[in-house]
A = this chain, B = another copy of it.
Amino acid sequence: MRNLKVTMAFRGTNYHGYQRQNNALTVQEVVEDAVSKILNTKTTIYGCSRTDTGVHAEKFCFSFKTENQIPIRNFIRGINGYLPKDISVLDCEEMPEDFHARFSCVGKTYLYRIHNSESKDPFSTDMALHYRRPIDIELMKKAAEFFVGTHDFGSFCADCSKKLDTIRTIYQFQIEINENDIKILVKGNGFLYNMVRILVGTLLDINEGRIKLSDLESIMNARDRRLAGRTALPHGLYLHEVYYDSI
């Protein structure tokens, strides 16, 4: 039995997230149908994570098992022929039997894109948050720095039960600015539900003076979602990279 790992990019605008749902179009459904056509047999794929409606992925991994001996190159070409223009398979490789796109994952990097200007950008509609207010980059960088390390992110999680293990490690929380375009990169060993969007929303609330830098510690300690900032809109978020062997 072959165990294949596939890396794909998708623009999430037209999908109700990655994970298959009844009565709503999802990336998994579209990709699973394409894989099943290529392999001539109904096939289940396992994604590295869920994603919210409108969230994008630059490198999303999924894995599946098959007896089919199709060469890798033909698989990539073939499946791309079946996929719509907003989903693209970038790579495919043979993995050991015990590999699983979700359970073997040791970390991820998310990207959040902001277009910071008075006027909207017609080229990043649905692909970056349009944010009109001036951004104090140094202030946002200080706030980002606070989150680096191993912390209890219970306040930065949507619908988290108090019993859930909400301790995660953030390795990097970088903010890059290029004219009007801001890229926020968050690299960690795992992320809670909506965690990146709440972290970015908190940075924006700090930028706007609604939350003070000096309050971050007590917000973190409270493990209370209501104290953290807003949830930034989904269309600025990208799954940027998924790590397996090492981070």
Residues in A lying within 8 Å of B, measured CB to CB: 9-11, 56, 58, 76-77, 80, 85-90, 117-123, 125, 127
Contacts and interface: CB of A to CB of B under 8 A. Distances in A.
B122 A80 contact: no
A107 B144 CA distance: 44
Nearest to A79: B119
Contacts of A119: 9, 76, 80, 88-90
Nearest to A85: B125
A119 B119 CA distance: 33
A123 B56 contact: yes
B89 A122 contact: no
Nearest to A84: B122
B90 A122 contact: no
A11 B127 contact: no
A23 to B, nearest CB: 24
Nearest to A11: B122
Contacts of A90: 117, 119
Contacts of A58: 123
Contact of A10 (B85, B88, B89, B122): B122
B10 A87 contact: no
A207 B85 CA distance: 26
27 contacts: A9-B119, A9-B121, A9-B122, A9-B123, A10-B122, A11-B122, A11-B123, A11-B125, A56-B123, A58-B123, A76-B118, A76-B119, A77-B118, A80-B119, A85-B120, A85-B122, A85-B125, A86-B122, A86-B125, A87-B122, A88-B119, A88-B120, A88-B122, A89-B119, A90-B117, A90-B119, A123-B127
